[in-house]
């Protein structure tokens, strides 16, 4: 909008009713303010009105007036000026940092919208917990649905630094706690307490959580903290014994099937063993806690089509009704 049109809207001489022109004025005032912010940032980065105008496609005079209007609105001087050079004031330096973030967010939002119709493609670096190796059928389905996305999978239970280590996205169990990350809950599951029929024949079947104190319990230990992971029971009664412990799920499954004790495992890890009778599910009415899978990605990064596709795919395919969780 040119200066004449802006003045007309401001004065109300536009033929619009008062409500219309006030709305128009607010809109154009916001546009004018953003233009002034851009002029200020470009001037600070380029070092002069002339150089800023060259980058913005405006005259040096127009850039100077935009900055002057901004200073008038803020009631603060942003630049020290003289005939030879100009430099930011202390207030100008503080304001510049905020303005750069605002404009960067606007550019990121524009780029994100522009990419919504772009087909997902490229490498996607993903960190997953070791238990997620059992979800490889879901990952295989994703690869079939998005053949132009190359998955780079890192399976580990250690606490990775998503940003420092350059991951695009991580899949984790439990509640996310890193404020630098965006997150989405993509699936919920209730763990199963299981044992082999031969073990139960030899040692009896526990009827309550307290009965577990008399059994051989195969425990999982966090590789990060070294602590034993609690079993999701309404009440454990006495503390659970530790016949053996492992940081991975696979040895616990093997030992449980071999009749060496009782284990607490994710349902998708032992679905087949329960279905064919090698393991029996125990104490189901006493299991209260529900765990979740979360997908996390850096909040500071643009959500690319490949990342959006992965998050949406996991959310739809890890639903309990799809996974028997």
- Whether residues 22 and 73 fall in one domain: yes
Q: How confident is the model over 203-220, as pLDDT tens digits?
A: 999 999 999 999 999 999
**pLDDT on residue 20:** 52
Q: How confident is the model over 276-297, as pLDDT tens digits?
A: 999 999 999 998 877 788 899 9
**pLDDT on residue 185:** 86
- Identify the CATH number of the domain in which residue 221 sits: 3.40.190.10
46 Cβ neighbours under 8 A, 6+ residues apart: 52, 54, 55
Average pLDDT over the chain, rounded to an integer: 83
- Identify the CATH number of the domain in which residue 52 sits: 1.10.10.10
Number of domains in the chain: 3
Count Cα atoms within 13 angstroms, Cβ side, for 179.
0
Query: What's the predicted TM-score (pTM) here?
Result: 0.55
- Whether residues 149 and 263 fall in one domain: no
**pLDDT on residue 115:** 63
Answer with the residue of higher pLDDT: 120 or 318: 120
- Whether residues 73 and 175 fall in one domain: no
Q: Which of 84, 114, 144 is the C-terminal boundary of a domain?
A: 114
Q: How confident is the model over 241-281, as pLDDT tens digits?
A: 999 999 888 899 999 999 999 999 988 889 889 999 999 99
**pLDDT on residue 10:** 41
Q: Domain containing 109: what range?
A: 3-114
Q: What is the DSSP letter of 179?
A: T
- Whether residues 72 and 201 fall in one domain: no
**pLDDT on residue 319:** 63
User: Does the structure show a pLDDT above 60 at 15?
Assistant: no
Q: Where are the alpha helices (DSSP H) in the chain?
A: 3-11, 18-46, 49-56, 60-74, 90-114, 136-145, 197-203, 250-257, 271-275, 305-317, 320-323
């Amino acid at each position: 909008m040119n200066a004449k049109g802006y003045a007309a809207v401001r004065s109300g001489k536009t033929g619009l009713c008062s409500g219309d022109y006030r709305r128009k004025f607010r809109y154009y005032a916001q546009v004018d303010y953003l233009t002034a912010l851009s002029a200020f940032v470009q001037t600070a980065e380029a070092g002069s009105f002339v150089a800023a105008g060259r980058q913005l496609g405006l005259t040096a005079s127009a850039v100077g007036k935009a900055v002057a209007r901004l200073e008038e609105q803020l009631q603060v001087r942003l630049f020290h000026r003289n005939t030879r050079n100009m430099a930011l004031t202390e207030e100008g330096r503080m304001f510049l940092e905020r303005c750069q973030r605002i404009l960067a967010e606007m550019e990121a939002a524009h780029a994100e919208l522009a990419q919504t119709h772009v087909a997902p493609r490229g490498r996607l670096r993903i960190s997953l917990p070791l238990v997620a190796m059992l979800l490889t059928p879901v990952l295989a389905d994703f690869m079939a649905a998005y053949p132009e996305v190359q998955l780079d999978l890192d399976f580990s239970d250690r606490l990775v630094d998503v940003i420092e280590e350059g991951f695009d996205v991580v899949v984790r169990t439990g509640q996310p706690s890193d404020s630098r990350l965006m997150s989405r809950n993509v699936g919920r599951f209730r763990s199963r307490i299981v044992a082999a029929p031969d073990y139960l024949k030899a040692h009896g079947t526990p009827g309550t959580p307290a009965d577990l104190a008399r059994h051989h319990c195969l425990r999982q230990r966090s590789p990060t903290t070294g602590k034993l992971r609690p079993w999701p029971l309404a009440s454990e009664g006495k503390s659970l014994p530790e016949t053996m412990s492992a940081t991975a799920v696979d040895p616990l499954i093997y030992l449980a099937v071999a009749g060496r004790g009782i284990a607490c495992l994710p349902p998708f890890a032992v679905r087949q063993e329960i279905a064919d009778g090698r393991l029996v599910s125990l104490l189901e009415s006493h299991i209260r806690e529900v765990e979740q899978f979360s997908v996390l990605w850096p909040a500071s990064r643009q959500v690319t089509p490949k990342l959006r596709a992965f998050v949406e795919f996991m959310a739809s395919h890890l639903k309990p009704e799809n996974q028997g969780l």
